[in-house]
Amino acid sequence: MERILVINVNWLGDVLFSTPAIKALRKSNPNAYIACLVVKRCAEILENNPNIDELIIYDEYNKHKLIWQKFKFIKLLKHKKFTRVYILHQSFKRALIGYLSAIPERIGYNTKRRGCILTQAIDLPEKPVHKIDYFLYLLQKCGIQTQDRNCEFFIDVNNRKIAKKILQLNKVEKNDKFIVINPGGNWQLKRWPVENFALLADLLITRCEVKIIISGAKKDKELAEQIISKMTHKPLNLCGLTNLTQIAAIMQDSFCVVSADSGPMHISRAVGANTVCIFGPTSIELTGPVGKGKGVLLQKNIGCKIPCYQLDCP
């Protein structure tokens, strides 16, 4: 049996963007054992994915931080006797993991001067492409057919039950119409102003007669409280009270989701929720959401170059 390893990337949205490639890999290798190496914070994106036989957690900032811990991790990979590895991550270090793990076939992009440790170094696409197509292109150059671009996020029965229980405990009944607002983003410039979210939430409550749920991680609690402090009506604040899979189940059952550019925005589209996506300085063409749900993509042209990664806006 062929044993395939996929070395994945580091961000929630980007890992979700890799799911069409993983699906294509499974379709072309139906009997293979497919494992995916992923950082701890992104593991939940792939946890219930039926196209993956094993998730291998690489905790580079804790459990695998020290050099001897890294070599112990590489020894673990060696014992698993993978025959082929697809390195989606661009870094030299990730390619080095595949090399030191003695995996015979090592396939990845020819970046960061790592071509010498790959058995198949693929040149980058001639022009910038969407992240989904970036991953698919790597497989295409290996002769693998790739047709489905939809991202996938799978919700298990237990987390779905917990999500329903959370709603019930907070008096959101089965027939209630509710909208999820997800205001967080990795950096400040990706976030719509607090005042705007507060005004929108109040308008939705009064004009559309819906309940509002604010979603986010524990670190987004303060942001949610700032929004609530500027509102006339009281929403349900679930920041820090759910995991990603539970909020995905809640988004799936919602009337729609309004989200800043973030991992949960991409999850919302992946589970088929109707999603209003608010973009700031990032490129919709390169990292816009792709999934089963309907989407409205909002981005105001203010004359700046997009994408822009200047954290201090002039």
Pick from 61-75, 139-153, 175-189: least confident: 175-189
pLDDT score of 192 more than 90: no
Q: Report yes or no on 235 lying in a domain.
A: yes
Q: Report yes or no on 313 lying in a domain.
A: no
Kindly state whether residues 96 and 172 are assigned to the same domain: no
Those residues with Cβ within 8 angstroms of residue 205's Cβ, 6 or more apart along the chain or in another chain: 211, 212, 233, 235
Q: What total number of domains does the chain contain?
A: 2
Q: What CATH number is associated with residue 94?
A: 3.40.50.2000
How far is CA 161 from each of CA 105, 211, 300, rounded to the nearest angstrom?
A: 42, 20, 39
Q: Report yes or no on 72 lying in a domain.
A: yes
CA atoms within 13 A on the CB side of 18: 26
User: pLDDT tens digits for 230-247?
Assistant: 999 999 999 999 999 999
Q: Report yes or no on 62 lying in a domain.
A: yes
Helices first, then strands: H and E counts in the chain: 12, 12
pTM of the model: 0.92
What length is written for the chain? 314
User: What pLDDT is attached to residue 283?
Assistant: 86
Kindly state whether residues 294 and 163 are assigned to the same domain: yes
Q: Report yes or no on 310 lying in a domain.
A: no
Kindly state whether residues 10 and 85 are assigned to the same domain: yes
Q: Report yes or no on 311 lying in a domain.
A: no
Q: Report yes or no on 103 lying in a domain.
A: yes
Q: How confident is the model at residue 311 (pLDDT cuts 50, 70, 90)?
A: low
Kindly state whether residues 174 and 210 are assigned to the same domain: yes
Kindly state whether residues 129 and 168 are assigned to the same domain: no
Instruction: Tell which of 140, 170, 186 closes a domain.
Output: 140
Kindly state whether residues 20 and 124 are assigned to the same domain: yes
Kindly state whether residues 210 and 86 are assigned to the same domain: no
Taking residues 129-157, report their average pLDDT: 95
In contact, 151 and 16? CB cutoff 8 Å: yes
Average model confidence (pLDDT) across the chain: 93
Kindly report the number of other CB atoms within 10 A of residue 190's CB atom.
17
In contact, 17 and 131? CB cutoff 8 Å: yes
Kindly state whether residues 56 and 123 are assigned to the same domain: yes
CA 71 from centroid of its chain's CA atoms = 28
In contact, 224 and 240? CB cutoff 8 Å: no
Kindly state whether residues 181 and 236 are assigned to the same domain: yes
pLDDT score of 297 more than 80: yes
Full residue range of the structural domain in which residue 107 is found: 3-140
In contact, 284 and 296? CB cutoff 8 Å: no
User: pLDDT tens digits for 81-112?
Assistant: 999 999 999 999 999 999 999 999 999 999 99
User: What pLDDT is attached to residue 3?
Assistant: 98
Q: Report yes or no on 187 lying in a domain.
A: yes
Kindly state whether residues 277 and 209 are assigned to the same domain: yes
Cα angle 196-199-203, degrees, rounded to a multiple of 5: 135
